[in-house]
Amino acid sequence: MAVLDADDPLAVAVTAAIRSGDVPALRKLLSAHPGIAASWIRREGEAAGTRSLLHIATDWPGHLPAGPEVIGVLVAAGADPGARFVGAHRETPLHWAASNDDIAAIDALLAAGADIEADGAVIGGGTPLADARGFGQWRAARRLLEHGARTTLRDEAALGLLDRVRARVTAQPPPAADDLDGAFWDACHGGQQATARLLLERGASLDRVGYDGMTPLDIAVAVAADDVVAWLRGQGARTGAGAEP
């Protein structure tokens, strides 16, 4: 595969066309440089790593002008929708679209053949759905569900899929304690009081510290899930300063 440095003039030009949604300019570059759609761009320093052109098309903050058309043009010219970032993680473009809550890009990538169950997320090495859930990108998470994404207990808790959660916690053997605790934290992150209540009844820890030192109460406050905050306080929940390690 061809790897271009980020400051190479061709890399600069193709990145600008992708990020601005300039489809005519992008088509011209792809025509003038056969094979460039399958090339990679290497960046040093901040946000170092090597990314495909589809990663460029789904990079933060997402929602780029003409994003779905750009994705389609790149794939038609040979870009791989399953390409992996090379660096601190190995996410696909679909992981990035999910992390940015970019519904249009998700649809375009899946239409182009992206693997909805690809692993490698920065959230536990999981699928694009794990990234959407971990970053609180609920529109993306629900769109992935509509496309048939498989769910874990944590996904189900965060999205309020009460029947699925109930089926898991009443199965034999039941979920491990760590899984219950993680799912409870995610239910509070997602503002899902019903699933949080069920998980607490099944033995989840009320105050287990999760991401960034936050307890379930902390994360519910952070996302302004006021009904969950009130319920947690009624249960005696604590903030991180006084909670379990």
Domains and CATH numbers, the chain: 1-150 (1.25.40.20), 154-245 (1.25.40.20)
CA atoms of 52 and 11, how far apart (whole Å)? 11
Residue 23 and residue 69 in contact, taking contact as beta carbons nearer than 8 Å: yes
What's the pLDDT score for residue 1?
64
Strands of the 40-43 sheet, one edge to the other: 3-5, 40-43, 49-52
What's the pLDDT score for residue 243?
54
Phi, psi of 177 (to 5 degrees): -60, -40
- Nearest residue to 65 (alpha-carbon basis) of 76, 57, 74, 73: 57
CA atoms of 103 and 54, how far apart (whole Å)? 15
What's the pLDDT score for residue 245?
45
Burial of 87 (C-beta count, 10 Å sphere; 0-12/13-18/19+): middle
Model confidence over 58-114: pLDDT tens digits?
999 999 999 999 999 999 999 999 999 999 999 999 999 999 999 999 999 999 999
CA atoms of 157 and 59, how far apart (whole Å)? 28
Amino acid 167 reads A
Please name the residues in contact with 226: beta carbons below 8 A apart, sequence gap of 6 or more.
none
Phi, psi of 52 (to 5 degrees): -80, 170
CA atoms of 240 and 23, how far apart (whole Å)? 49
pLDDT under 70 in the chain at which residues? 1, 241-245
Q: Which two tokens stand for residue 105?
A: 């890009």
CA atoms of 120 and 128, how far apart (whole Å)? 8
